[in-house]
């Protein structure tokens, strides 16, 4: 019958009555929440989108059932039935809610991936020795150990040892950071090299990772300015629609053709059905939830929904370079030596020294050295925040950043202008010093 002649006749009254009862069942079981919400809003003296849904679908069904039961009261051209309108409106809005729920579920899966960054256990250090304990049993103040390859279970502060930590999940920076006594470590980060003892300071929902997850969830449930505007519009839109329906009905009652009461009911019903808010109540939450969830899948955390809305007005975006605009896999692009030092010899000794380091720049130097025969290095030391040192083939070697050479009071022939030019090209300077044989 749907899509065919939507008018009641003597031949199809019974069938339409069955369809009307089925529609009523749909309204009660699939759309009952709209009517309950509208009733609560009415008791509170407010009007919401659910109010308009309840009015539109309810009036459409009542009008159709009246035509179905007493068609003789209505002129032939007014015997249209609107059962399908009630069912379709409820179905479409429920479909939107279902899609919204699926978007939330997809967002939750992205958050679950963040939760997977925390290990299920931690290595507890006590006077009796070390033992593995469930993460839920870790309390602030406990002493924990981390070794190469471990994922940090909770936030804390290093009390002993040094290690290189990959904090890309927090900072987006793929190059590991050297951590030592007094430095903070955060749950979810990974120890790439080294071993440390650290004291737990924040566990469970108080860790930095948990706060990030909580921030994303809040962003999903927050409303941007445009969403708040939609709510304000709804508060005005509903009573305005009701007034328009009543005014239209009154005009047809006083100035319309006979039978006036029938046309009055038809016009009022039509206005309420047309004004039913299938899109206004769904567009904002759907777009926000989908946008925040999709961004989380790509590692982009949206702090609040308003930020997502305002992003459309941006004309300038500043990116972190390493690991964002680049792959985060440094390569040696040039070897520059001074005095009588051969470039091949410099590269060979630098690669030998870097064999004891897991820093990405060390791997880049080793890759550049390729199959070179590397000498054995004695007295290898990691100079925190500066570089490395050691001895090979009777030479004292230093390899690190400009600060290392400044500390060692080693001058270079590179001018500040040339250094700045290198940095502008996205190149990082790795300084190397070789002393004579001992």
- Residue 221 pLDDT: 67
Q: What is the residue-wise DSSP string for 151-203?
A: BP-SEEEEEEEEEEEE-HHHH---S-EEE-TT-EE-TT-EEEEEEEEEEEEE-
**Highest-pLDDT range among 142-151, 212-221, 336-345:** 142-151
Of the candidate CATH numbers 2.40.50.140, 2.70.150.10, 2.120.10.30, 2.60.120.920, the domain formed by 121-206 belongs to: 2.70.150.10
CA-atom Rg of the chain in angstroms = 36
Position 54 confidence tier, pLDDT thresholds 50, 70, 90: confident
Instruction: Look at residue 24 in the predicted model and tell me its pLDDT.
Output: 92
> Which distant-in-sequence residues (6+ apart) come within 8 Å of 175 by Cβ?
322, 323, 328, 330, 359, 360, 361
Active-site residue, selected from the candidate residues 320, 340, 342, 367: 320
> Which residues make Cβ contacts (< 8 Å) with residue 354, sequence separation at least 6?
361, 362, 363, 365, 366, 388, 399
Close Cβ partners of 285 (under 8 Å, ≥ 6 residues apart) = 100, 223, 227
Domain ranges of the chain: 13-113+230-287, 121-206, 343-434
Report helix, strand or coil for 130.
Answer: strand
Q: pTM higher than 0.75 for the full model?
A: no
pLDDT at 107: 65
pLDDT band (50, 70, 90) for residue 88: confident
CB contact at 8 A, 165 and 192? yes
Sign of CA dihedral 197, 201, 206, 212: negative
Closest by Cα among 266, 223, 241 to 81: 266
Give residue-wise pLDDT tens across range 9-52: 777 888 888 988 999 999 999 989 889 988 888 888 777 778 87
Q: Give the pLDDT band of residue 3 (cuts 50, 70, 90).
A: very low
Its sign, for the CA torsion 177, 180, 184, 189, is positive
**Which class is 343-434 in CATH?**
alpha beta
pLDDT at residue 276, as a whole number: 64
More confident residue, 289 or 227: 289
Q: What is the pLDDT of residue 231?
A: 61
Active site residue 342: no
Q: What is the band of 2 on the pLDDT scale with cuts at 50, 70, 90? A: very low
121-206 and 343-434 share one CATH topology?
no
> In the predicted model, is pLDDT for residue 365 greater than 80?
yes
């Amino acid at each position: 019958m749907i899509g065919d002649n939507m008018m009641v006749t003597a031949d199809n009254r019974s069938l339409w009555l069955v369809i009307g009862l089925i529609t009523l069942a749909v309204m009660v079981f699939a759309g009952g929440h709209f009517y309950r919400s509208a009733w609560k809003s009415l008791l509170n003296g407010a009007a919401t989108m659910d109010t308009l849904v309840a009015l539109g679908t309810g009036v459409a069904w009542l009008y159709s059932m009246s035509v179905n039961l007493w068609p003789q009261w209505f002129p032939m051209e007014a015997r249209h039935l609107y059962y399908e309108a009630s069912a379709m409106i409820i179905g479409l809005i429920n479909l939107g809610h279902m899609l919204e729920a699926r978007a939330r579920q997809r967002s939750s899966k992205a958050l679950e991936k963040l939760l997977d960054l925390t290990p299920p256990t931690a290595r507890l250090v006590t006077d009796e020795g070390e033992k593995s304990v469930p993460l839920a049993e870790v309390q602030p103040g406990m002493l924990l150990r981390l070794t190469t390859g471990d994922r940090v279970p909770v936030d804390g502060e290093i009390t002993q040892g040094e290690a290189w930590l990959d904090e890309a999940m927090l900072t987006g920076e793929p190059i590991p950071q050297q951590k030592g006594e007094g430095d903070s470590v955060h749950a979810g980060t990974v120890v790439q090299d080294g071993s440390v003892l650290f004291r737990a300071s924040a566990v469970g929902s108080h860790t930095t990772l948990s706060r990030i997850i909580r921030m994303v969830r809040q962003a999903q449930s927050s409303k941007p300015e445009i969403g708040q505007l939609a709510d304000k519009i709804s508060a005005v839109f509903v009573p305005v629609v009701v007034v328009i329906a009543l005014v239209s009905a009154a005009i047809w009652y006083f100035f319309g053709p006979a039978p006036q009461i029938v046309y009055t009911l038809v016009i009022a019903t039509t206005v309420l059905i047309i004004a039913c808010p299938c899109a206004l109540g769904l567009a904002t939450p759907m777009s926000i939830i989908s946008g925040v969830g999709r961004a989380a899948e790509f590692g982009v955390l949206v702090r609040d929904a308003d930020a997502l809305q305002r992003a459309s007005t941006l004309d300038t975006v500043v990116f972190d370079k390493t690991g964002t605009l680049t792959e985060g896999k440094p390569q040696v692009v040039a070897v520059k030596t001074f005095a009588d030092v051969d470039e091949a010899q410099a590269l060979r000794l630098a690669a030998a020294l870097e064999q004891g380091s897991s820093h990405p720049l060390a791997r880049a130097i080793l890759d550049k050295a390729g199959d070179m025969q590397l000498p054995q290095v004695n007295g290898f030391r990691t100079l925190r925040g500066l570089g490395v040192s050691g001895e090979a083939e009777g030479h004292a070697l230093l390899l690190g950043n400009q600060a290392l050479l400044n500390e060692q009071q080693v001058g270079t022939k590179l001018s500040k202008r040339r250094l700045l030019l290198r940095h502008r090209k996205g190149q990082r300077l790795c300084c190397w010093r070789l002393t004579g044989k001992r």
